[in-house]
Amino acid sequence: MGKDNSRVKPRLPRGFEDRGAADIAAMNQMIETIRSVYERYGFDPVETPMFEYTEALGKFLPDEDRPNQGVFSLQDDDESWMSLRYDLTAPLARHFAENYQDLPKPYRTYRQGYVFRNEKPGPGRFRQFMQFDADTVGAPGPEADAEMCMMMADTMDALGLVGRYVVRVNNRKVLDGVLESAGVTSDEQKLTVLRAIDKLDKFGAQGVKQLLGEGRKDDSGDFTKGAGLTEYQVDIVLKYLFTDLVKTNSEQIDEVIGLSELNARGREGIEELQDMAALFFSAGYDVDRIRIDFGVVRGLEYYTGPVFEIELTFPVQNEKGQDVVFGSVGGGGRYDGLVSRFRPEATPATGFSMGVSRLMTALRLTGNLGDTEVQGPVVVLVMDREQIADYQQMVAELRNAGVRAEMFMGQSKNFGKQLAYADKRNSPAVVIVGSDERENGKVQIKDLIEGKRAAAAIKDNAEWKSERPGQFEVPRSELVPAIRKLLDGQD
């Protein structure tokens, strides 16, 4: 018989993933914890669609006839381009601007949902992933930025990561002021400098120095072109960058204030950091939880003031077997210019985003995710297909009592295969009613959880048959209370 070429090969698109019940349960558990913290701070939920008009997503998208680089796009029937959102912030800015008259100001909201990046996928790099954001739109003061950092810290505590993270805080005005004083004026060169500073954890001081200058050659011989700064300019940037993290937030700020290269814009940023540091101290957030760190650089160009990120500080092994810190699981900052793309009013805004998938990985590594194994339903086995109505009645009684239950609906009449199905479903128990049980008004209940434990302790086959581990008989009328008692005992 020839090969059937009409069948479609089942394959997952690159950069996407399927998720099973256990992963979904784990994510739901984590999201509920995050949500409870956000709501305790007075934030309310909002939901925006996955598609936005491409022009609403911002100037940082490629200017092409078909804007599909970086985002996934399609053309509507009116020839307008729409794109899948690549973050949750740009859609929020559009939502706020469109509903400006009806929304309270400040507008305090949180959102969760999938975002999409049309990029080359790789290990740990997906084209679809979930984010969980919180934002305050319409609050100009550093107290709004400080509150975001405090909420990030409280969220980490609620997730069981006390002592295993730090919220790192900087201000783009300070770095911009240093670069301007050093004569770095072009946007392209500034962006290259920011990218170099962002590699500090990965390449160390020497690697950053090379990237600020002519460039860096890695171990494989590949060369990355640098920012092309002079030696004088590199010294200014490095002097700013390497403040002593052992010091308190105030001491670090004082050290940077002492830089002669800090201009008026930089000093404005320092004043904002001073205000934030005072708020952290008064609210009881010490430097081990929230820390001023002049090495923090957020990549998006629309950040206009304070920027912050959550770094998990416990060690993990990289692909080379080396111990490294886990790293960032979220971040954000102030973006005062984003809403003004839609409206004439000056609209300050600040917020942050959690990387849900990466955070889940961290919680698994630290044992803080809890038991996410999903318990299956009680399965009523079908021993006699002529008695389907009777089996279905048992299932209905269990469901009406609030017990998750199902009747076996597969094709097999074999007891062993039905039992194997229940095992694969992670069922806590099965109900067995054959002709003998029906004649005697009885039901057999097999406790699959206890049965597995008991069977593991029994070595002899004859002993196993005599013990019938985890199985017992009750009157048919006592099915529901017997199942409920069994489930309560398994908790």
CATH number of 21-366: 3.30.930.10
Rounded Cα distance between 439 and 62, Å, is: 75
Rounded Cα distance between 246 and 241, Å, is: 14
Rounded Cα distance between 192 and 56, Å, is: 26
Query: What residue type is 166 in one-letter code?
Result: V
Rounded Cα distance between 190 and 79, Å, is: 36
Rounded Cα distance between 40 and 53, Å, is: 33
Rounded Cα distance between 113 and 180, Å, is: 38
Position 6 scores a pLDDT of 82
pLDDT tens digits along 155-191: 999 999 999 999 999 999 988 888 888 888 888 888 8
Rounded Cα distance between 79 and 454, Å, is: 67
Position 3 scores a pLDDT of 64
Q: What are the structural domain ranges in the chain?
A: 21-366, 378-490
Position 65 scores a pLDDT of 54
Query: What residue type is 115 in one-letter code?
Result: V
What is the pTM (predicted TM-score) of this model?
0.82
Walk along the chain (491 residues) in steps of 10 and give the mean pLDDT of each run.
Answer: 76 90 89 96 96 82 59 90 93 96 96 90 82 96 96 96 95 88 83 82 83 85 86 84 66 70 84 94 94 80 89 76 80 92 92 91 83 85 94 97 95 92 94 94 92 58 57 95 90 62
Peptide bond between residue 106 and the one before it cis (omega within 30 degrees of 0): yes
pLDDT tens digits along 265-307: 888 999 999 999 999 999 999 999 999 988 888 755 678 999 9
Which homologous superfamily does the CATH classification assign to the domain defined by 378-490?
Answer: Anticodon-binding domain (3.40.50.800)
Q: Residue 258 — left, alpha, or beta (φ > 0 → left; ψ -120 to 50 → alpha)?
A: alpha
Position 332 scores a pLDDT of 94
Position 63 scores a pLDDT of 47
SS (H, E, C) the chain: CCCCCCCCCCCCCCCCCCCCHHHHHHHHHHHHHHHHHHHHCCCEECCCCCEEEHHHHCCCCCCCCCCCCECCEEECCCCCEEEECCCCHHHHHHHHHHCCCCCCCCEEEEEEEEEECECCCECCECCEEEEEEEEEECCCCHHHHHHHHHHHHHHHHHCCCCCCEEEEEEEHHHHHHHHHHCCCCCHHHHHHHHHHHCCHHHHHHHHHHHHHCCEEECCCCCEEECCCCCHHHHHHHHHHHCCCCCCCHHHHHHHHHCCCCCCHHHHHHHHHHHHHHHHHHHCCCCCCCEEECCCCCCCCCCCCCEEEEEEEEEEEECCCCCEEEEEEEEEEEECCCCHHHCCCCCCCEEEEEEEHHHHHHHHHHHCCCCCCCCCCCEEECCCCHHHHHHHHHHHHHHHHCCCCEEECCCCCCCHHHHHHHHHHCCCCEEEECCHHHHHCCEEEEEEHHHHHHHHHHCCCHHHHHHHCCCEEEEEHHHHHHHHHHHHHHHC
Within this chain, domains 21-366 and 378-490 share the same CATH topology: no
Position 349 scores a pLDDT of 96
Q: What do you get for the CA distance between the two ends of the chain, in Å? A: 54
Residues in the chain: 491
